[in-house]
């Protein structure tokens, strides 16, 4: 790393455009902004460096500003494909953050960037998918960091699972943001519920009123999706395996059916199960002509696209985000976003407010780690309850007044 | 008009891309497609030419295909700024339609194009905003057409008002599509209600859940907008002048308030009144810091943007569709789409199904005119009731089965 | 009429109990109470007698109190079967009203009572079903009243129709309360919608959540019933003949079906059509075993009970308000309230607030008539628009603050 | 106990009326009926006696019929004040059950009746509030039963808590019905939610549309109540102490406020917290004139009626279930059902379907105990998961088809 010019981004001249994006995000992130203002007095990160792996986009930038008010110096890398190059430029030019990422980069580039930010000898890390943890645990050159780090955060459940498989490796505590009930309710039920509706409408320009929409899976995310589709006038049919979940959906006014029956009337089908191969060849064969199929689960594999591909005699992209498959009986199936999560691929992903809450949890967790380990032990663990309560109470203050 | 090469479009090589757009629209326009198939047998437009002024976009193209199945030859022009150049190319290359329009054209170009299509000596015209009617009534060279025309349709209320101001001019009947109750309910309440939600979400990426959203105006459109915002979890406050309308909104579970009171808590404000200057300097002054303001009425003037501009010490574009105004007390107001209708400007406008119903009314109306004038008199009038019932019944058949 | 003891009621000692009923109603009738307070200053009925035919129950009593504050002396009769004898006693003892009615009385008694109140030489009458009008038009002894009466009101649509059939008979204006849009929305959509749910729950003790409830008729009343049943978690299927009404219901999220199809899944069926014989032998034969059938329309004849009776091999009353019919195939049909309106028969009828609005229209209408005929002509006509607006504005003031 | 005439009820001649009540309940209890039919083949209770303490009313009777089909002989006692004497008569005359209870009986009578049914040397007991358990644990004459009993069920949480305080006493397993998630969702959220609306409407005859209704407590019961009041058009304000619960309510579209703020606008207030003294003198003092106050929690103490009584200058019963308190400033507060649960006191309590599910859990639990103890240990424990799944699956079969 060139510490004279400690960044590697696409184009520094994009900073003005990036700053505007950040300004819009900031206007809708009162919790994170307020925490930053409080940090300005308490300075929890005085003389501390935080190395961060998280999507480099406008909402993240607002959060970095809050950490800086707390005294932190910061280096950050993103994920291949999600970096906003203009936001990256603004972070370098206007915030003095050491940014190492470009939108178009390979996974090898990404790993190199992870090493770049770890070269700053951080006191704290904020991780995403456990990429930084993995390097520290396994790269002999980075291993010493585990002795000096005050602690870490991990954003995702995927990363948390990875860390829990390696329990025993750690010499520092890691707080898992996604373990909080607050994120499950705010992000999964409400955030996903509304962004999926947004994504489907953007991708298709269809009228949801009167559509028979099958929602497969009625967990936190699925029940949110079902509620919002109903809120837009759709006739929602719920498919789930758990009898009690089905009964709950039925009593809440939804039609409940098994998938095969549901597909006889469905004109829209959304998967939200967390499982693979939910829609497969047997299902594509019985679908109605003209059905629109979308996935809202984390992995594209909920819809078995290869099976659909094999059944199809013709396949063509229509509008952006819509692929038309023509099956042997000339029936058409329209797949959105190639099965990728429709809210992320066709929309802007989670609403800003949802990220404000999540990043506020991040900020407070890092401050707790910086203060000293306290009750924390050297394993992956949920965010302390008092922090969750504090952030939720802040959210209420800004959202419900 | 060069009748060897009877079209004037931007680029014929865009036809492939345009055809894909048309394919997607067609898959969601069963009513118009079915009418086209019926026309193939009855051939109502055999040896007839239809000159059309309507937005040249994918949904319109599907409708032209139906008219052609009925035997029509067709010339069409669009509106400045709304033409899809790729759809225009597909219409020329794949459908043999005489298209005269480009996305980037002036109003003078538009008038010239209107004259171009009237040069085909049409038997029927389909008009939008009464532009074609106006030329026929007033241009001596075109006046003779009024004696040979079998009849016309007019899509808009604005055009209908223009025609009604000139009653007495006409020698042929004009059927007004927008006079039907079907369009009012399907397009205004449901179509606008859902496309406004779509537009706001696209423009802002905000979470509607928990937002205090003021809807100004509770007519067909406004009540639709209020219902859909509530369906997405917003706390909706209704403002209207009519006491009975207010009572209805109140009993339907909405908070009802006068505009000044409503603005004390509003974090989102949508105008849908049909009147000008609904939000003006007095209102901007009392708005909360950070409010998002959008218009869903036909004219941008519902929000007095010049007044807002004058109050502002700073004005800058942030995200596409969002302009930030900073007022004297450093309060910020975020205006969407410069006050233009948020569903059209930030979204795709009316859902496909809504246009399917409207264009089916158009197709059946033109066929009725082609058959001979029947009960029709030579004035602007609503679509005959049996046609409205037929199209609504068709809609039920496809949408509710 | 014995003018020494000018009343004929069941038992004067019931007055205390009746007064308590009136107190509860009064606490929920702020519009009528406020009008009474205003009347106390303006005294529109000074030296005037008002003869009234209306249900003698607690809400009516509150209204009489308001008229008395305006200076009126009052005589009243009720309808056979609806008189609350305790309220009648309180009206005599505590209000000094001349009451002529008992709960158990014949139609002949009723007519005699009508004549009794007309013997007071009233200046104004308030009628219900046009009984008083009919006597004045047709009884030579009462005919002279038509020359001295300042005017009349009529509560019901049935009465209005009767009056309109006899147009030309009248020498005084009659204001029709039920012609107002305010009553249609407040009473039909909201009042009936909620009292029908109330009535069904009282009669049956069933869980509405998850029931497949067919609502036959989707006018003001029917759409209100459908909305409220959905609000209680029922799966609502709408049946209606009008295609546009059906499309509206479908887009509003209801399943729409023809009656025969709907009955294949219905576990509850409510008629609200205004027509006779909506459910007949053909329908009873295809109903599911165990279905609950109720009527919410004005006349019991919407359900053809004689046809059901004839199909039944056994008929027995179960709980109060529930009759079990066993058909030939041992299938059971449960009819509520013998087909009488379920909200009136199993419940308390219209909520107090609905009557407050209706009686406020009555009070203001009588005051207008007392002031002199003004713009009013000597025919049945709607309540003047300024009165409707005034009362609706008052309702907003009390209900929405 | 006179084993020649093994019953003690009020009046055997009431049997016909009681049988009709049972018939209505049976028509709506398909799960329990189906289990009875299955028992007829498997005969799990062959040569076994079941002694039961549970409310002697129609739904219970249907369940007894199912147990008899499984071969059981049965003795039963009820609770003081809840026995339906006519149902008791039908059980004796038509079912041959040994019934020991009258509606009007003292607590001492009740204990004597408990001993009467235990004199039948039961193999199984079904308990309610742990009265039978308590006698067996503590009465030396009954203690030997604990060695011969195959097991027991307990209906209530109150009884379960009592049993858990005495852990170690038991020589047989006790299955706690109310521990199942199925009962919590079906009974608490949906059953209570709808029966509270029912109770309020019966008690008051008010219009819920447009009322500002405060719901205090947003657990399973409270969120159900809030949802249903909203479903009837009320403007619902939620009060809760837990920040995350408040945030959830806010995002689900409810207004969230602290109790003091909420009472400034409330015209209806319902407590559902499970805590005492939720509404006390401080709250009554700030309530609006004319507010209606009801409790939906288990204990009347949620509303501090003595405090209200002390504040009042006058107190009088109005309609049944409504008490009017006039405070010093002539403000009126209307308390429903003296603070007893409004759904039970003013309505019929839980809908039949809810009891069908609960009694089906009872029936299957008793059969499991009769089969031998299996995996069961000699302590109070939840109903086995496979039984809960079976009953929920049955519920789905009957409710969702």
Q: Over the stretch B363-381, which tens digit does the pLDDT of each residue have?
A: 999 999 999 756 898 989 9
| Contact criterion met (CB < 8 Å) for D247 and A181 | no
pLDDT digits (tens, 9 = 90+) for B154-168: 998 888 988 988 766
Give contacts of A252 with chain C, Cβ < 8 Å.
Answer: 209, 233
| Residue D373 pLDDT greater than 80, yes or no | no
The nearest CA of chain D is from the CA of B195 a distance in Å of 21
Candidates B230, B234, B252; nearest CB to D233: B252
The 10 Å Cβ neighbour count of residue A179 is 16
Band of residue B15 on the pLDDT scale cut at 50, 70, 90:
very high
Q: What are phi and psi of A155, to 5 degrees?
A: -75, -40
Which residue on chain A is closest to D243 by alpha carbon? Answer: A393
Q: What are phi and psi of C51, to 5 degrees?
A: -100, 130
Band of residue D320 on the pLDDT scale cut at 50, 70, 90:
confident
| Residue B130 pLDDT greater than 80, yes or no | yes
| Contact criterion met (CB < 8 Å) for C317 and D197 | no
| Contact criterion met (CB < 8 Å) for B243 and C400 | no
Q: CB under 8 Å, gap of 24 or more: what pairs does D77-81 form?
A: D77/D52, D77/D53, D77/D101, D77/D110, D77/D113, D77/D114, D77/D116, D77/D117, D78/D53, D78/D54, D78/D113, D79/D53, D79/D55, D79/D110, D79/D128, D79/D129, D80/D105, D80/D106, D80/D107, D80/D109, D80/D110
Question: What does the pLDDT read at residue A373?
Answer: 56
Give contacts of B233 with chain D, Cβ < 8 Å.
Answer: 251-253
| Residue B330 pLDDT greater than 60, yes or no | yes
Question: What does the pLDDT read at residue B374?
Answer: 67
Of A179, A240, A244, A399, which to mutate for an interface test with D (greatest number of D Cβ within 10 Å)? A244
> Is A241 near chain D, with CB under 8 Å?
no
Mean model confidence pLDDT for chain A: 94
Which residue on chain B is closest to D229 by alpha carbon? Answer: B253
Question: What does the pLDDT read at residue C60?
Answer: 96
Which residue on chain A is closest to C233 by alpha carbon? Answer: A253
Mean pLDDT confidence for B171-197: 93
The reported pTM is 0.93
Lookup result for tokens 């299996």 = D374
Candidates D185, D190, D250; nearest CB to A396: D250
Question: What does the pLDDT read at residue C156?
Answer: 87
> Is B141 near chain C, with CB under 8 Å?
no
Which residue on chain B is closest to C247 by alpha carbon? Answer: B396
**Residue A86 Cα distances to A78, A82, A348, B202, C291, angstroms:** 13, 12, 16, 20, 64
Chains touching D (at least 3 CB pairs under 8 A) are A, B, C
In the predicted model, residues of chain A with pLDDT beneath 70 are: 167-168, 373-374
The nearest CA of chain D is from the CA of B233 a distance in Å of 5
> Is A244 near chain B, with CB under 8 Å?
no
| Residue B186 pLDDT greater than 90, yes or no | yes
The nearest CA of chain B is from the CA of D230 a distance in Å of 7
% chain D with pLDDT above 70? 99
| Contact criterion met (CB < 8 Å) for B389 and C243 | yes
| Contact criterion met (CB < 8 Å) for D209 and B234 | no
pLDDT digits (tens, 9 = 90+) for B51-85: 999 999 999 999 999 999 999 999 999 987 889 99
Question: What does the pLDDT read at residue D374?
Answer: 67
| Contact criterion met (CB < 8 Å) for A400 and D182 | no
Give contacts of B324 with chain A, Cβ < 8 Å.
Answer: 23-24, 27
Candidates B210, B230, B252; nearest CB to D250: B210
Mean pLDDT confidence for B293-297: 94
| Residue C177 pLDDT greater than 80, yes or no | yes
Give contacts of D253 with chain B, Cβ < 8 Å.
Answer: 209-210, 230, 233-235
Q: What is the ipTM of this complex?
A: 0.91
Give contacts of D210 with chain B, Cβ < 8 Å.
Answer: 250-251, 253
Which residue on chain C is closest to D350 by alpha carbon? Answer: C205
Across-strand partners of B152? B125, B174
Give contacts of D190 with chain C, Cβ < 8 Å.
Answer: 207, 209, 233
Give contacts of A319 with chain B, Cβ < 8 Å.
Answer: 20-21, 24
Please choose, from the candidates A179, A181, A182, the residue with its C-alpha nearest in 3D space to the C-alpha of residue A161.
A179
Question: What does the pLDDT read at residue A349?
Answer: 79
Chains touching B (at least 3 CB pairs under 8 A) are A, C, D
Indicate the length of chain D as a whole number. 401
> Is A252 near chain C, with CB under 8 Å?
yes
> Is A265 near chain C, with CB under 8 Å?
no
Of C253, C255, C257, C261, which to mutate for an interface test with A (greatest number of A Cβ within 10 Å)? C253
| Contact criterion met (CB < 8 Å) for B209 and D233 | no
Q: What are phi and psi of A305, to 5 degrees?
A: -65, -40
Give contacts of C181 with chain B, Cβ < 8 Å.
Answer: 244
Do A273 and A222 meet the contact criterion of CB atoms below 8 Å apart? yes
Give contacts of D392 with chain A, Cβ < 8 Å.
Answer: 243-244, 247
Candidates C186, C250, C399; nearest CB to B400: C250
pLDDT digits (tens, 9 = 90+) for C207-264: 999 999 999 999 999 999 999 999 999 999 999 999 999 999 999 999 999 999 999 9
| Residue B150 pLDDT greater than 80, yes or no | yes
| Contact criterion met (CB < 8 Å) for C246 and B181 | no
Comparing B33-37, D210-214, D378-382, the range with the smallest average pLDDT is: D378-382
DSSP H helices, D205-280, are 220-231, 243-251, 259-265
Give contacts of A399 with chain D, Cβ < 8 Å.
Answer: 247, 250-251
Do B342 and B295 meet the contact criterion of CB atoms below 8 Å apart? yes
Question: What does the pLDDT read at residue C132?
Answer: 96
Mean model confidence pLDDT for chain D: 94
Give contacts of D252 with chain B, Cβ < 8 Å.
Answer: 209, 233
Which residue on chain D is closest to C224 by alpha carbon? Answer: D232
Candidates C247, C250, C396; nearest CB to B247: C396
Mean pLDDT confidence for D230-258: 96
Give contacts of A248 with chain D, Cβ < 8 Å.
Answer: 185
The nearest CA of chain B is from the CA of D233 a distance in Å of 5
Please state the separation of Cα D88 from the chain's center in Å.
19
The 10 Å Cβ neighbour count of residue D106 is 9
Of A180, A182, A247, which to mutate for an interface test with D (greatest number of D Cβ within 10 Å)? A247
Please state the separation of Cα A20 from the chain's center in Å.
22
> Is C17 near chain D, with CB under 8 Å?
no
The nearest CA of chain B is from the CA of D256 a distance in Å of 10
| Contact criterion met (CB < 8 Å) for B246 and C181 | no
| Contact criterion met (CB < 8 Å) for C246 and B396 | yes
Which residue on chain C is closest to B396 by alpha carbon? Answer: C247
> Is D226 near chain C, with CB under 8 Å?
no
> Is D393 near chain A, with CB under 8 Å?
yes
User: How many beta-carbon pairs below 8 A join chains A and D?
Assistant: 62
The 10 Å Cβ neighbour count of residue D71 is 16
DSSP H helices, C166-304, are 181-183, 193-204, 220-231, 243-251, 259-263, 281-286
């Amino acid at each position: 790393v060139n510490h004279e010019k400690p960044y590697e981004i696409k184009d520094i001249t994009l900073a003005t455009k990036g700053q505007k994006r950040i300004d819009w995000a900031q206007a809708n992130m009162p919790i994170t902004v307020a925490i930053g203002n409080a940090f300005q007095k308490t300075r929890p990160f005085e003389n501390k460096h935080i190395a961060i792996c998280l999507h480099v986009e406008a909402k993240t930038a607002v959060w970095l500003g809050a950490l800086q008010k707390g005294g932190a110096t910061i280096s950050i890398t993103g994920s291949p494909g999600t970096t906003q190059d203009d936001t990256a430029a603004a972070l370098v030019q206007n915030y003095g953050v050491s940014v190492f990422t470009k939108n178009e980069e390979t996974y090898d580039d990404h790993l190199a960037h992870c090493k770049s930010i770890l070269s700053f000898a951080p006191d704290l890390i904020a991780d995403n998918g456990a990429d930084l943890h993995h390097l520290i645990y396994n790269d002999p050159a980075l291993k010493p960091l585990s002795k000096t780090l005050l602690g870490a955060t991990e954003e995702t459940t995927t990363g948390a699972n990875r860390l829990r498989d390696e329990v025993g490796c750690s010499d520092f505590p890691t707080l898992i943001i996604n373990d909080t009930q607050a994120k499950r309710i705010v992000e999964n039920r409400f955030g996903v519920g509304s962004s999926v509706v947004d994504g489907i409408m953007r991708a298709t320009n269809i009228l949801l009123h009167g559509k028979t929409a099958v929602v497969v899976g009625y967990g936190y995310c699925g029940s949110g999706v079902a509620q919002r589709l109903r809120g837009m006038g759709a006739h929602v049919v719920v498919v789930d395996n758990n009898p009690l979940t089905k009964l709950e959906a039925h009593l809440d006014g939804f039609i409940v059916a098994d998938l095969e029956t549901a597909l006889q009337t469905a004109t829209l089908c959304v998967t939200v199960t967390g499982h693979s191969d939910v829609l497969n060849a047997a299902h594509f064969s019985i679908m109605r002509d003209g059905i629109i199929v979308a996935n809202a689960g984390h992995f594209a594999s909920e819809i078995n696209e290869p099976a659909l591909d094999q059944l199809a005699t013709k396949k063509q992209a229509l509008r952006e985000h819509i692929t038309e498959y023509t099956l042997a009986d000339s029936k058409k199936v329209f797949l959105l976003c190639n099965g990728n999560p429709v809210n992320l691929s066709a929309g802007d992903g989670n609403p800003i407010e949802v990220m404000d809450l999540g990043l506020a949890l991040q900020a407070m967790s890092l401050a707790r780690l910086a203060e000293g380990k306290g009750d924390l032990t050297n394993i992956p663990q949920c965010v302390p309850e008092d922090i969750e309560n504090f952030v939720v109470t802040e959210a209420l203050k800004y959202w419900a007044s």
